[in-house]
Structure formats: structure tokens, C-alpha cells
């Protein structure tokens, strides 16, 4: 399963939940296995590379329809199906 598909599955499983990036990092691991490279700390930022990848992917998914609902950014680091 791709990271994109895993993220969509997280929102489908809990459609009323407000997710932070940290929540998504935890939830996505049920469907997607991070590689060793993704788990390494980014040299420019003190965080694993997968956090940046999830943040980037979720920004690309904003506004995309999941059934009749869309992923929306509610506030800084808060995403939900609306």
C-alpha cells in the first residue's frame, strides 16, 4: 500500500477525528511500513524524514474528495474530513 493510500485509509477509518501530523504518523503505520531511510533524522530538521513526507502528502490531499467528503485543514496541524 502506498503512503497516500494509507493516509486516506486513516481518514476513512476515523472520519470524525481531528488528526495532527503526529496522529497520522502513528495511525499510518497500521497500513504502511516506513523504510530505514524514512526513519532516519532529516539533516536539516530534528525529525524523522517520514514526518516531512506525511506533511507534504497531506497538503497535496487537502481538498481531495473521499466519497462525498474532503480533507480540510482546520488549523495549524489539524486535519479532518468535512
pLDDT of the chain along its 82 residues, tens only? Answer: 899 999 999 999 998 999 999 999 999 999 999 999 999 999 888 899 999 999 999 999 888 777 788 999 999 889 998 8
Q: Tell me the pTM.
A: 0.87
The Cα-based distances of 62 to 6, 33, 56, 71, 81 in angstroms read 15, 23, 10, 5, 9
In this structure, how many other beta carbons lie within 10 angstroms of the beta carbon of residue 71? 21
**Domain residue spans of the chain:** 3-81
Amino acid at each position: 500500500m502506498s503512503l497516500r493510500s494509507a493516509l486516506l485509509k486513516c481518514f476513512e477509518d476515523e472520519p470524525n477525528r481531528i488528526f495532527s501530523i503526529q496522529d497520522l504518523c502513528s495511525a499510518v503505520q497500521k497500513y504502511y511500513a516506513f523504510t530505514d531511510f524514512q526513519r532516519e533524522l532529516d539533516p536539516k530538521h530534528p525529525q524523522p524524514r517520514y514526518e516531512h513526507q506525511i506533511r507534504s502528502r497531506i497538503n497535496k490531499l487537502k481538498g481531495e474528495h473521499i466519497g462525498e467528503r474532503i480533507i480540510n485543514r482546520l488549523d495549524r496541524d489539524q486535519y479532518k474530513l468535512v
